[in-house]
Structure 1
């Protein structure tokens, strides 16, 4: 029941954001991903390639290791260049990325010349199916709202 209530609240907030502007705030995006994240885990398997990633402000990001596997990484502090990075690198040891030991490093032309690592504080697996279903519902609700306005 708590999950349903939170989802309804997030949908209402998202719809309100859609009505007033085209983009969600970083806080809204992070709340949406947190609502689809499981309990923290100590690490995850990583074979050196990322299937996709999305910054969620300067303190968190979602990382897809496979199309059906993703993790919410919350960082120990602000990561200055995360919003401007064209790519990221994730440190690992023995094909495992560990909370409190490994880092995210923003890469690309929009980042500073000194590549400062951003420590991963927590790792939470994402329910990718539920995340995609919620995103679809939000897109459909926004489309209905746009149609109603015209």
Structure 2
């Protein structure tokens, strides 16, 4: 009986944590969309001379891809990409070796390469904008 009670409590705690992650990502997605509008970020259809350098996960819908330490892109993904926020490594699936295309190329987590998250929109961002984006949804330090 006691182990059954422990199992029920553990199940409730795990489902609460999953719900909090989902709502936290939804709030962050909304905050990122508001940042895009308020900072008038312009999207591009493609990035020429793109060499995958690194990445940062932001939420289920947004990541930042780098092609060098100075060239970063805020990427909006299409669909639900649940593996990306927790992936240690991603794959950038491209049709052309030297460019990155919105609505054509995709990203996948290495652990589940069959799930391809289409790149919906590409926003070139500056170093300062990248720092701003990283602080979205983090409490201000006092």
Q: TM-score, normalised on structure 2?
A: 0.63
Structural mapping, 1:1-150, within 5 Å: 25-31=24-30, 33-34=32-33, 35=35, 38-44=41-47, 45-47=49-51, 49-51=52-54, 53-92=55-94, 93-107=96-110, 111-112=111-112, 115-132=114-131, 142-144=140-142
Judged with a 3 Å threshold, the aligned counterparts in structure 2 of structure 1 residues 123 and 133 are, in CA distance, closer, same or farther, namely closer
Gaps of 5+ in 1: 1-24, 145-150
| C-alpha distance in 2 between matches for 1:100 and 1:116 | 15
Please, which runs of 5 or more residues in structure 2 have no aligned partner?
1-23
Where in structure 1 do 4 or more consecutive aligned residues deviate above 4 Å? 31-34, 133-136
**What is the aligned length?**
113
What do residues 44-79 of structure 1 show as CA deviations (whole Å, max 9, x unaligned)?
1312x323x222222221112222211111112111
Structure number with bigger Rg: 2
Quick one: structure 1 residues 90 and 120, their matched pair in 2 at CA, closer, same or farther if it must change by over 3 Å?
same
Give the CA RMSD over aligned residues. Answer: 2.8
Cα distance between partner residues in 2 of 1:70 and 1:128: 8
How far did residue 30 of structure 1 move?
3.9
